[in-house]
């Protein structure tokens, strides 16, 4: 994500919004784009997020935050993404290759 953003590209993220072994529930997860980040001295990371489900009036205020200071320890993830769940179980960078649509 950091390399994408530092190169001037948004980074596609897959959000894990469901905690289930039922693979039919995977479709209830969500995708967003990270376009900026801040890291403070305590290694607290805040990602600026574009969420296609957020209205333009609040689009600039969407974020995901976590602490990267202890990578071998579970760090709570906080967010204000409108996913209908207060808990975000995890996220990962998604592979993305742009395609030109047919004429």
User: Each residue of 84-94: pLDDT tens digit?
Assistant: 777 888 899 98
Q: Residues 2-37: pLDDT tens digits?
A: 999 999 999 999 898 877 777 766 666 788 999 999
Domain extents in the chain: 2-93
The mean pLDDT of the chain is 88
Q: What is the mean pLDDT of residues 42-50?
A: 96
Across the beta sheet with 63-67, the strand order is 78-79, 63-67, 44-50, 30-39, 11-16, 90-93
Residue 19 is predicted with a pLDDT of 72
Which tokens in the block code for residue 92? Answer: 């990962």
**pLDDT score recorded for residue 26:** 65
Which one-letter DSSP state was computed for residue 2?
Answer: H
């Amino acid at each position: 994500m950091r390399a994408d953003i530092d190169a001037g590209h948004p980074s596609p993220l897959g959000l894990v919004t469901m905690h289930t072994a039922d693979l039919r529930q995977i479709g209830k997860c969500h995708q967003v784009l990270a376009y900026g980040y801040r890291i403070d001295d305590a290694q607290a990371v805040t990602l600026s997020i574009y969420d296609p489900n957020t209205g333009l009036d609040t689009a600039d205020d969407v974020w995901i935050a976590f602490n990267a200071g202890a990578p071998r320890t579970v760090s709570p993830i906080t967010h204000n993404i409108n996913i209908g769940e207060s808990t975000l179980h995890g996220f990962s960078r998604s592979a993305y290759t742009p395609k030109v649509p047919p004429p």
